[in-house]
Amino acid sequence: MAALSSSAGCRSYVTQLPSSSSSSDETARRRNQRIPFSSNPRIFHHAKVSCQLNPRSSHPNVLRMQDGAVAPAMTTFESESSSNKLKESLLQTAPPEERKDAAGFDVNQNESTVTITVLGASGDLAKKKIFPALFALYYEDCLPKHFTIFGFARTKMTHAELRTMISKTLTCRIDKRENCDKKMDKFLDRCFYHSGQYDSQEDFAELNRKMREHEGGRVSNRLFYLSIPPNIFTEAVRCASQSASSVNGWTRVIVEKPFGRDSESSAALTKTLKQYLLEDQIFRIDHYLGKELVENLSIMRFSNLIFEPLWSRQYIRNVQLIFSEDFGTEGRGGYFDNYGIIRDIMQNHLLQILALFAMETPVSLDAEDIRNEKVKVLRSMRPLSLEDVVIGQYKSHTKGRTTYPGYTDDTTVPKDSLTPTFAAAALFIDNARWDGVPFLMKAGKALHNKIAEIRVQFRHVPGNLYNRNFGTDLDRATNELVIRVQPDEAIYLKINNKIPGLGMRLDRSYLNLHYAARYSKEIPDAYERLLLDAIEGERRLFIRSDELNAAWSLFTPVLKELEKKKIIPEYYPYGSRGPVGAHYLAARYNVRWGDIGSEQ
Measured distance CA(114)–CA(449) in Å, rounded: 40
> Could you give the string, one character per residue 330-349, with x where binding to ligand NDP holds by CB under 6 A and - elsewhere?
-----x--------------
Q: Which of the choices ligand NDP, ligand LXAUTJHC, none does residue 229 contact, using the CB cut-off of 5 to 8 A by kind? A: ligand NDP
Smallest distance from ligand NDP to CB 422, Å: 18
Measured distance CA(511)–CA(559) in Å, rounded: 40
**Of 349, 460, 514, 583, which residue is the catalytic one?**
349
Q: Which of the choices ligand LXAUTJHC, ligand NDP, none does residue 263 contact, using the CB cut-off of 5 to 8 A by kind? A: none
Q: 46 Cβ partners below 8 Å, 6+ apart?
A: 69, 80, 83, 84, 87, 112, 219, 249
Q: Nearest Cα to 536, choosing from 67, 65, 36?
A: 67
Q: Please, which residue, 436 or 487, has the CB nearer to ligand LXAUTJHC?
A: 487
**Binding residue (CB under 6 A) for ligand NDP from 155, 200, 201, 265:** 155
Q: Which of the choices ligand NDP, ligand LXAUTJHC, none does residue 435 contact, using the CB cut-off of 5 to 8 A by kind? A: none
Confirm or reject binding of residue 228 to ligand NDP (CB under 6 A): yes
Q: Which of residues 232-251 bind ligand NDP (CB under 6 A)?
A: 232
Angle, vertex CA 194, rays to CA 191 and CA 199, nearest 5: 135
Confirm or reject binding of residue 199 to ligand NDP (CB under 6 A): no
Measured distance CA(1)–CA(16) in Å, rounded: 6
Provide DSSP, 154-181: SS---HHHHHHHHHTT---SSTT-TTHH
Q: Which of the choices ligand LXAUTJHC, ligand NDP, none does residue 344 contact, using the CB cut-off of 5 to 8 A by kind? A: ligand LXAUTJHC
Q: Which of residues 45-84 bind ligand LXAUTJHC (CB under 6 A)?
A: none
Q: Please, which residue, 51 or 452, has the CB nearer to ligand LXAUTJHC?
A: 452
Measured distance CA(368)–CA(544) in Å, rounded: 9
What φ, ψ does residue 429 adopt, rounded to 5°?
Answer: -110, 115
Measured distance CA(104)–CA(102) in Å, rounded: 5
| Nearest residue to the partner ligand NDP, using Cβ | 123
Smallest distance from ligand LXAUTJHC to CB 452, Å: 6
Q: Is 98:217 a contact under the CB 8 Å cutoff?
A: yes
Measured distance CA(413)–CA(429) in Å, rounded: 36
**Binding residue (CB under 6 A) for ligand NDP from 124, 366, 522, 563:** 124
**Binding residue (CB under 6 A) for ligand NDP from 68, 120, 438, 594:** 120
Measured distance CA(359)–CA(385) in Å, rounded: 22
Q: Which of residues 271-300 bind ligand LXAUTJHC (CB under 6 A)?
A: 287
Confirm or reject binding of residue 153 to ligand NDP (CB under 6 A): yes
Smallest distance from ligand LXAUTJHC to CB 345, Å: 6
Tell me how far the alpha carbon of residue 32 is from its chain's centroid. 22
Tell me how far the alpha carbon of residue 338 is from its chain's centroid. 22
**Binding residue (CB under 6 A) for ligand NDP from 140, 203, 256, 536:** 256
Rounded-to-5 percentages of helix, strand, coil across the chain: 40, 20, 40
**Binding residue (CB under 6 A) for ligand NDP from 31, 42, 154, 476:** 154
Confirm or reject binding of residue 161 to ligand NDP (CB under 6 A): no
Q: How many residues bind ligand LXAUTJHC (CB under 6 A)?
A: 4
**Binding residue (CB under 6 A) for ligand LXAUTJHC from 344, 388, 489, 547:** 344
Angle, vertex CA 490, rays to CA 485 and CA 494, nearest 5: 115
Q: Is 348:286 a contact under the CB 8 Å cutoff?
A: yes
Window of 121-129, 398-406, 465-473, 556-564 that interacts with ligand NDP by CB under 6 A: 121-129
Element (H, E) at 550: helix 545-564
Confirm or reject binding of residue 528 to ligand LXAUTJHC (CB under 6 A): no
Confirm or reject binding of residue 506 to ligand NDP (CB under 6 A): no
Window of 14-22, 256-264, 483-491, 578-586 that interacts with ligand NDP by CB under 6 A: 256-264
**Binding residue (CB under 6 A) for ligand NDP from 14, 35, 103, 125:** 125
Q: Nearest Cα to 463, choosing from 454, 451, 474, 448?
A: 474
β-sheet with 389-395: strand ranges across: 506-514, 490-498, 480-486, 451-458, 316-324, 439-444, 422-427, 389-395, 570-573
Smallest distance from ligand NDP to CB 370, Å: 23
Measured distance CA(572)–CA(397) in Å, rounded: 9
Catalytic residue list contains 45: no
Measured distance CA(139)–CA(548) in Å, rounded: 34
Residues that bind ligand NDP (CB under 6 A): 120, 122-126, 153-155, 198, 227-230, 232, 256-258, 335
Catalytic residues: 349
Residues that bind ligand LXAUTJHC (CB under 6 A): 287, 325, 344, 452
